[in-house]
Structure formats: structure tokens, C-alpha cells
Structure 1
Amino acid sequence: MTGDAPAVLRLGGHPVAEYVWRPELPVALSPRPYLHPVRTLGGLTVTDLMPLSHRHHLGVSVAVAEVDGANFWGGRTFIPGHGPAWLDNQGSQEHVRWLRRTDTHLSHTLRWVTIDGRPLLAERRDLSCRPAGPGAWALDFGFALTNTTGETLPVRSPAAHGRTGAGYGGFFWRAPSGHCQIKTRWGTGPETVHGRRAGWLTVLGDGWSLVFIPVGAETRADPWFARTRDYLGFGSALAWDEPLLLAPGATVARRIVTVVADGPVGTERADAYAAETAS
């Protein structure tokens, strides 16, 4: 599945995440760089890769259901009035060049191309890691997408085509299957955050926790996608139920900080992580 050797993020000399920046994947999966495995400081893996039920779920990645008809999510495409269907429209995200590559900071440029090689978007992606207190570390994931065509590009989710609740597309984290609990400041359960905006979202798994924190006004304005039925997947939605229209030369930028912790994280601690990130 990997071409060139992964770039590895390390803290204190220990690997916490591997970034597969030039993967060898089937076209049907919409090939793109991804993080996997991502681990807690105690060594627990908190990502999943190509599970049998959703082969196109690739750890932590930027995955978009549709950009001007091209599928950058992988798998089937939702067609209004028909439902999901296999089309020859899967795009790919290709590494262009490294800007920075150290144990704690990865930065590179990419291009998003259609299945027939037509470039649509140029991207700059920045990944970094830092300690976040006892038993925890923080992954900072930022990306900026620029329309390189001469036409407006519509970015859509299946929900923008009428599939209620399927507003996914953007930063996406596939967690390992198993029992989990979703927490926000308003309560527990995916219904407290799915399709809503929140200053943080906590996922409590088997011995581990993830605290997702949006950074910046634009990212905070995006609703969350949270699914625990059939699989555990979480993301910040670029186009929840309306297309995001990207004009020629325009850029859309987003940033998510994820605290990866051993053990449970309570509401007060999640609030503190969010406050620390904001400062």
C-alpha cells in the first residue's frame, strides 16, 4: 500500500504517527496521503486503514465526496434520485514537493487531479505534533485548497445532493472499530454533535480518547460529522448540505487540532485543551 517510505512524526524519539505521503492504492479508493497508524503515547492505535466494509477509509486524511463531479472520497458516488453508484470518476491527491520534513513537522504541496489527469486544486498541507500534558499529545492538521482552474468549482457532500445526514467531506478520521462514547459540552451521543457546530468533540474508545478541536473562525463554522453506527468516523464538514463554491484562484483553508490521549478525557480537560489551543 505504500510507495516511498512513510514520514514519521516522533515525540521524545518515539513514533506517534506515520504519514504515507505517496501511497500505492487502487484507483477506486481515490488515492491520497494519509496518517496510519496514529498511536497514543502508550502505544494504542487510534486509526483504522482500509477496513473490509469501507476500503476507501484511510486513517486520517482529507477526503471530499465530490469536487466538480470528481470523487476524492473513494468508493461509490451518490447520484440524486438513484443512490450510491460506481462511476469512473475517482480522483487522486498527488505529492508535489516537500516544504519541511522533520520529526515534529511535515509540510508539503499537493495537486488534486481527476481520473483523466485534469488538475483541479493545489494544496498546501501542514502536519505537526507536540506534547499536550501527561499521557497526551496533539496533532495539528492544516490544509489550504486553491482552485487552479478557470471556472468555479463546486465542492459537494452527498447531503448537498439530498442524502440527509451525509454531509461528510474534508478532514476525516477513521477510528478503530469497537465501543466508543461521544461527548460534547451539551451531553453524550453522536446526536449531540452530528450536523452541529461545537468547540470540541471527544471520542472515548477502549483505553484511549480523541479530542477534536477546530481552529479559526472558518473551521469553527463547519458542522461536525460523527458516525458510530456501522463504523467510527469523524470529520469536519466543508459542505454540509449546500455546495461550497470555490471561485477561480480562491482558497479554502481549514485547521483541526486533535489531542490523542491514553485513558478517558472529561469535560473540564477537553475545555482546557480547547482553551490552550485557542491561546
Structure 2
Amino acid sequence: MSQSLLLRCAGRPVGRYLFRPDLAPRLSPRPYLHPLTTLGGLRVTEEMPGDHLHHLGAGVAVPDVAGRNFWGGRTYVRGQGSTELDNHGIQRHTGWKLRDPDGFVEELAWTAEAGELLREHRTVAATPLGTDAWALDFTFSLTNTTGGALSIGSPATNGRPGAGYGGFFWRAPKETGRPAVFTADADGEDAVHGHRADWLALAGDGWTLVFAGANGETRKDPWFVRTEEYPGVGSSLAWDERVEMAAGETLVRRILTVVADGRLGRDAAAALVRKAVGA
């Protein structure tokens, strides 16, 4: 049976965190946030949709950690394409360092058949930004615990151009129309997918999500964006090159996501990002 906790922002419920979900091995079991909502109550995450059963709300998922799949579904194999493999890893919740109504600090172990590959320190907090918006502050630190070198990849690094997904990922709900997507100086999936920008907005029917890198390292990661096939945004760790980690090395990323009621324009989105980063 799944175990979860309620996430609140200034006393108001805005989401649920499943820290011990009951999932099939093929989904690469991992903790995730779902549902997340605006302050007005609109749901802005999707869980196990029919188009991609392994899309699980908002969280961290990586398709290739030393050849193990922590994303779920099929694995892209160079020269073969997407292939069903028995190589799915698990992100195991191992304990809390802090657990408050508006956030938590968690320890996780990323394990596969050979044992632990990564140890994660995860910090999540909900911060109010006014009556119509709040921010999800999500930091994850991954440490290589194998005792040797380890590399992180993606379908793109394994031969599928443009599919550099893996890292923080947010699956939004599919609606009748496609959501708008834009940055400070570009509009549309083709213009923002695979590009670097300080922030990126996804605007749907009555809601807007604005993703921002909260430190210099995160802003270097390209954005992975889908609006036509499905609505989803991620910050890519291995867009076109594998990330090599020495024994004991730690990789840190922090993403701020503004969750707002209403379909915001560029100026309003940018203003909320400035407020969230300064909060």
C-alpha cells in the first residue's frame, strides 16, 4: 500500500507526496508529487496517463544511470531503438531529516540489481507568492556511492536526437487544446525545446507553471519540452553528452516552479519568477 504525506502552503493544501508508492517494476518506482494544484484548486500534474504510464506527477526520473532505467517504460538502445529491458531501478525512501506541513528533507537510495548506485538528499518546500500563486522549491543532490566511476545518460546520448530527457520532470494534465510555452524571448515548443533559458512557462486552461533554475548550475541545463504529443517540462541533465561522476562525487540541481492561477503572459510570468527567486 502506498504511503504519502500532504503538502501545504501557508496552511492551504496544494499537493500530496507519495514517498512509498505501490508501483509495478516497469514504472521504475520512485517518490513523486501528485496531485499538485493551484491555490484555486486546479490540478496541474498528471499520474500514469494512458500515453505514458511511467509519467508520475512531478519528481526526478533518469532513463540511464550506468545502464539502469530510473525513468520507466522502454529503454532506448543504440541501433535497436526503444526496447523492453529488465533493467528498471528503484528510488527508495530511506528516511526523513525534516518533515513539516510546508515541506520536507528526505534521504533516498537509488538501487538496481547490483545494489546502490546513487544516494539522494532531497529538499522540497512550498512558498506563498500571493493570493493566486505559490512556488515549489525542489532541490536534489545525487552522490555516486558505487566506489567507482558512474555515468548518467539519456536516449539522446544513446542515439535518439532531441530526446535528452532525464532529471527534474513535471507531467502536466492533457487538455483539449495544447498549452502555450514560452521563455523571455521565445515562443512555442520548437523554439524552446533543447534550449537554455533562465525560466520557461507552460500555460494551460486557467493555470500557468513557470520553471526557473535557482542557481547557476541549473540554468546551464537545457529545457526538455513537450506540448504537442503531451504536456511536460523537464530540466535535462544529459542533453547531448553523458554526465560522468567520479566515486563519491555529488551532482546538485535546484528548480523553482511557480504554480499560478490564470493564463499568464510573459511579463506576469517573469515578475513571479523574480518574486520566487527572491523569496
8 Å Cα contact 2:135-2:276 kept in structure 1: no
Compute the TM-score of the two structures, normalised by the length of structure 2: 0.96
- The residue that corresponds to 1:210 in the other structure is 209
1:193 Cα deviation from its structure 2 partner: 1.4
Ranges of 4+ aligned residues in structure 1 off by more than 6 Å: none
Question: In the TM superposition, what whole-angstrom CA distance separates every residue of 1:207-255 from its partner, at most 9, and x where no partner exists?
Answer: 1000001111110000000011221111000000100001100000000
Mapped to 1, the partners of 2:10 and 2:62 lie a distance apart of 34
Moved more, 132-141 or 121-130: 132-141
Structure 1 position 160 matched with structure 2 position 157: yes
Mapped to 1, the partners of 2:173 and 2:225 lie a distance apart of 14
1:270 Cα deviation from its structure 2 partner: 2.0
1:261 Cα deviation from its structure 2 partner: 0.6
SS in 2 for 1:28: helix
List gaps (5 residues or longer) in structure 1: none
Compute the TM-score of the two structures, normalised by the length of structure 1: 0.96
Q: CA RMSD in A?
A: 1.1
8 Å Cα contact 1:104-1:128 kept in structure 2: yes
Mapped to 1, the partners of 2:58 and 2:258 lie a distance apart of 14
Equivalent residues in 2 for 1:1-279 (5 A)? 3-4=2-3, 6-114=4-112, 116=113, 118-178=115-175, 179=177, 180-279=179-278
Counterpart code for 1:26? A
Mapped to 2, the partners of 1:259 and 1:148 lie a distance apart of 33
1:273 Cα deviation from its structure 2 partner: 2.4
Mapped to 2, the partners of 1:170 and 1:11 lie a distance apart of 25
Counterpart code for 2:209? L
SS in 2 for 1:50: coil
1:13 Cα deviation from its structure 2 partner: 2.8
1:117 Cα deviation from its structure 2 partner: 5.2
1:260 Cα deviation from its structure 2 partner: 0.4
Question: In the TM superposition, what whole-angstrom CA distance separates every residue of 1:146-182 from its partner, at most 9, and x where no partner exists?
Answer: 0001111110010011201000000000000022110
Tell me the percent identity. Answer: 51
1:52 Cα deviation from its structure 2 partner: 1.2
List gaps (5 residues or longer) in structure 2: none
Question: In the TM superposition, what whole-angstrom CA distance separates every residue of 1:74-110 from its partner, at most 9, and x where no partner exists?
Answer: 0000000110000000000000110111111111100
Moved more, 26-35 or 267-276: 267-276
Counterpart code for 1:125? R
